Amino acid sequence: MSRIASLDKQFIWHPFELPESLPAIPITHAKGVHLYTEDGRAIIDAIASWWVNLHGHAHPAITKAIQQQAEKIHHIIFAGFTHEPAALLAEKLMTKLPANQHKLFFSDNGSTAIEVALKICIQYWKNLGIKKTKIIALEHGYHGDTFGAMSTGERSIFVKPFTEYLFEVCFIPSPALDPQGARDALQAIAETNDVAAFIFEPLIQGAGGMLMYEPATLDALIQLAHQYDIPCIADEVMTGFGRTGKWFASDHLNEAPDLICLSKGLTGGTLPLAITSCSEKIFRAFDSTSRDKGFFHGHSFTGNPLACAAAVASFDLLNTDECWQQIGFLSNHQRAFSEVIKHHPKVHSSRSFGTVCAFNVKTDTNSSYLNPVRDVVMNYCLQHGVMIRPLGDLIYILPPYCISEPELLTVYEAVTAAIDRLP
C-alpha cells in the first residue's frame, strides 16, 4: 500500500463508504475525461466526478482564470462588499436564467442552495404576515444532506438515522411514475391554503433513481401550484448547465419556477459554489427598511472570488457553439446506447434525457442503494479503466461533455461486459 493510501486509510472518513470498503484509489492528476492513478492507470470519469465536471478535468481556461484571480483576491467577506468575478457571473447568469428571475443569493454547495431556497420561501410568507406551514416535495426526491434538504427528500437509507429530527413534508407521487397521481395529490394539498413552497427536481430525479418525466407534466404541476399562489423551487443542482440538452431543465418548460437552485456544474467542477435565484415577487417581500424582514443567512465563503472566477470561465466555455455541438453529440450517443442496451436480457427501464443515460439491471435482490449489483458492476468497470458509481441496481452514465466517441465506446463496452457477467 502506498503512503497516500496508507495515510488515507488511517485518517480519512470517506462519504457514502463503509469502513470495510476497499482502500480508496490514490489519484495523482486528471486531464480531460481521465483520472490518473498512482500506479499509472488511466480511468475514464464516466460520471463527471459526481456530476460536477462539464468541460473535462484541468481545463486550461478555468485553470488560468483561477490563477489570475488568485493574484488579486483569494477571499473577502461578502456582507457589505463585492468583487468583479461575482458581479460578472451574476450578469452572465441572468442572460440565461428564465426571464422571471431577479436576484441571486450565493452559497457553497447544492445542499446550501436548497436550504437558502426553503428558508426564503418560509420567511417570504412570514414577511407578508401570512402563516404557511406545509412544504410539498416529490417522492423519490433527493436535495442534499443538510437537514432541510434531507427533510424534502425521500426517506431513504441516506436519512434513516435522522428521520425523527426532520420537519414534516407533504410528499406527492413522482411524476415520472404517476403523473396524474402527482397532480391530484398536489391539488388536494394546495386546497388547504397552507403551502409555503413546492420543491422538485425538474425532469430528472437524480439520486432517487434517474427518474425522467415530460416537460408537459411538470408544466401542469407548476401551473397548478401557481393557481394557489405556491412558490415553486426548481432544484437544478444536477440538471443545470446543459445536462438536459439546454442551459437549464427549466428551459424545456412553458411555466417558470419562482426559485432556482444551482451548483455542481456552476464552476465546471473545479471549486465549491452555489446560487439560489429568485423572482422579483419573492424578493419584494424582503426589500424593506425594516431589519426584521432581512434575510439573515450566510456562509463564511459566500461569493468566494476564486470560485466565481472559475464559474465565469466555465460559463464562457459553455456559451460556445463548440460546447453545444459536444452536448448534442453526447446526447445523441446516449440516446442510441439507451436504445441498444434496452434489449439486453438483464436490463429493464432503459432511458435517456440529454446527456444522461440510465437503466436498471434485473435482479432478484431488493432494488435499493445497497443492492450487491452495484459493487460487482462498479468494480468490473474500474478494472477495465472506467469509473461509474451505480445507485444499487441503477446504472447511469453522465460524463464530461468533452468525451470522445472512442472513449464513450470504451465506457459502453465496459458497462455491457459487466452486465453480461452478472448471474
Q: Is the same domain home to 99 and 212?
A: yes
Q: Is the same domain home to 91 and 194?
A: yes
- Give the C-alpha distances (Å, rounded to integers) separating 289 from 107, 130, 294, 295, 383: 24, 19, 8, 12, 61
367 pLDDT tier (thresholds 50, 70, 90)? low
- In this predicted structure, what is the pLDDT of residue 370? 81
Q: Is the same domain home to 120 and 236?
A: yes
Q: How far apart are the first and last CA of the chain?
A: 32
Residue that terminates a domain, selected from 318, 338, 359: 318
- In this predicted structure, what is the pLDDT of residue 369? 79
Domain residues for 112? 63-318
CB of 395 within 8 A of CB of 417?
no
For the chain, give the mean pLDDT: 96
Q: Using a pLDDT cut of 70, give the percent of the chain over it.
A: 99
Q: What is the pLDDT of residues 100-132, one digit of tens each?
A: 999 999 999 999 999 999 999 999 999 999 999
288 pLDDT tier (thresholds 50, 70, 90)? confident
Q: Is the same domain home to 274 and 350?
A: no
Q: Is the same domain home to 106 and 219?
A: yes
Q: What is the pLDDT of residues 207-232, one digit of tens each?
A: 999 999 999 999 999 999 999 999 99
Site of grid cell 470560485? 307
Q: Is the same domain home to 211 and 286?
A: yes
Nine-digit cell string for 79: 456582507
Q: Name the domain count of the chain.
A: 2
Q: Is the same domain home to 267 and 341?
A: no
pTM of the model: 0.97
* Per-residue pLDDT at 168 exceeds 80: yes
Q: What is the pLDDT of residues 296-353, one digit of tens each?
A: 999 999 999 999 999 999 999 999 999 999 999 999 999 999 999 999 999 999 999 9
Q: Is the same domain home to 282 and 340?
A: no
Q: Is the same domain home to 303 and 354?
A: no
Residue that terminates a domain, selected from 275, 291, 318: 318
Q: Is the same domain home to 159 and 223?
A: yes
Query: CA–CA separation, 151 vs 147, rounded Å?
Result: 6
pLDDT (mean) for 273-301: 95
Residue that terminates a domain, selected from 318, 339, 364: 318
- Give the C-alpha distances (Å, rounded to integers) separating 65 from 32, 105, 232: 17, 22, 34
Across 170-189, b (16+ Cβ under 10 Å) vs e yields bbbbbbbeebeebbebbeeb
Q: What CATH number does residue 202 fall under?
A: 3.40.640.10
Q: Is the same domain home to 135 and 203?
A: yes
365 pLDDT tier (thresholds 50, 70, 90)? confident
Q: Is the same domain home to 396 and 300?
A: no
Q: Using a pLDDT cut of 90, give the percent of the chain over it.
A: 94
